[in-house]
Amino acid sequence: KLTPLDAPGYEKVVYAEDAESGLKSIIAVHSTKLGPAAGGCRMFNYPDLETAKIDALRLSKGMTYKNAAASLPLGGGKSVIMADPNTDKSPELMQAFGRFVESFGGMYTTAEDVGISVEDIEEAAKFTSHAAGLNKGAFASGDPSPVTARGVFLSCLAALKHAFGRDQIEGKTVALQGLGHVGMYFAEHLHAAGAQLLVSDIDAHAVAEARQRFSARSVAPDDIYDVEADIFAPCAMGAILNADTIKRLKVKLVCGAANNQLADDAAGDALMERGIVYAPDYVVNGGGIISVSTEILKITDEKWVDRKIEQLAETTDKILTKAKALNASPHKVADQFVEEVLAN
């Protein structure tokens, strides 16, 4: 059963319910101005439809900005499945989701996000040709997380100069929140480049792995905001930068993979007031959608991804340079940059 949801400013938002498989899902297409919408699917145990809708809308708009910032010919869309990824997943559920994606007729292409694996997307792909981030197929791009991590790492190097005057990561301490798909790869880059790691995760296994592989020190999840470090790297959930957490930070740079890191606009300004450089999330974490888009756009040039990833770091540098010149917060400068792209 498909129910259109009211969402001013969005092109199409639909809620789907399938009694047989238990699917409860929303697909939100924010904009197709730059091309067909693309963005991952998140599975989360949302308490109610309204909360799921708010998340889908925020993430979908975020994809419009992310795709535009990465100069991709793709619009912004996102989907959420209201279910617990640890207990509610089934092939039937993902197949029903695939049929839901197909009902958009190509206006939206899905991929992985939090709670969704390559295998899940492959189940959905049995019922839609608009699913990417697959392991098999002519243009299969697989798990986007390593590419995301590489983009965040290169962007972090570009941002270092703005926060510390030079782009040396060796010897810097990074407080890394969330050692999941992206966080663990990012930690690998940081460790290889000589950074010290201070990590937190609600998953004890992930923490143990980082301690063992990267000689990381670890703290309890809520203590990550208080540690003595140079860089804070949010790689878990969104909206973690708010009035309370920003006050506690002792770092000079925030650069991480998580989507929607700022709880609100004021959080971006608060970081600036505290003299903390903020590398805008949707600019630095564009690697995942770049990886996925090789599949959507059928890219054959093997160097394309590398070039696009390097561009993310260049864009980060440009935005931070402009923010400094204008004495404006980087998130606003990034938004303005994207809004200009969309207007033209």
Q: Provide the binding-site residues for ligand NAI, judged by CB under 6 A.
A: 113-114, 144-145, 148, 177-183, 200-203, 206, 221, 235-238, 257-259, 285, 288
Report yes or no: 85 and 44 within 8 Å, Cβ to Cβ. yes
As measured in angstroms, the least distance from the Cβ of 46 to ligand NAI is 15
Q: Is 127 strand, coil or helix? A: coil
Residue type, 284: V
Of 145 and 293, which has the nearer Cβ to ligand NAI? 145
For residues 18 and 145, which CB has a smaller minimum distance to ligand NAI in the complex? 145
| Residue number with CB closer to ligand NAI (22 or 180) | 180
Distances (CA, A) of 213 to 47, 178, 197, 199: 36, 15, 11, 12
Is the alpha carbon torsion for 165, 170, 174, 180 positive or negative? Answer: positive
User: How many whole angstroms separate alpha carbon 300 and alpha carbon 138?
Assistant: 10
- CA–CA dist 81, 88 (Å, integer): 10
- Write down the least CB distance from residue 17 to ligand NAI, Å: 25
DSSP, collapsed to helix, strand or coil, labels residue 147 as helix
Smaller CB separation from ligand NAI, 109 or 285: 285
Q: Report the run of H or E that residue 318 belongs to, with start and end.
A: helix 304-326
Minimum distance from residue 38 beta carbon to ligand NAI (Å)? 12
> Are residues 30 and 10 in contact, defined by beta-carbon separation less than 8 angstroms?
yes
| Residues designated catalytic | 78
Residue 12 CA to residue 27 CA, distance in Å, equals 8
CB of 54 or CB of 326, closer to ligand NAI: 54
- Is residue 144 within 8 Å of residue 166, measured between CB atoms? no
- In the complex, residue closest to ligand NAI by CB: 180
| Min separation Cβ 165 and ligand NAI, Å | 28
Shortest Cβ distance from residue 206 to ligand NAI (Å)? 5
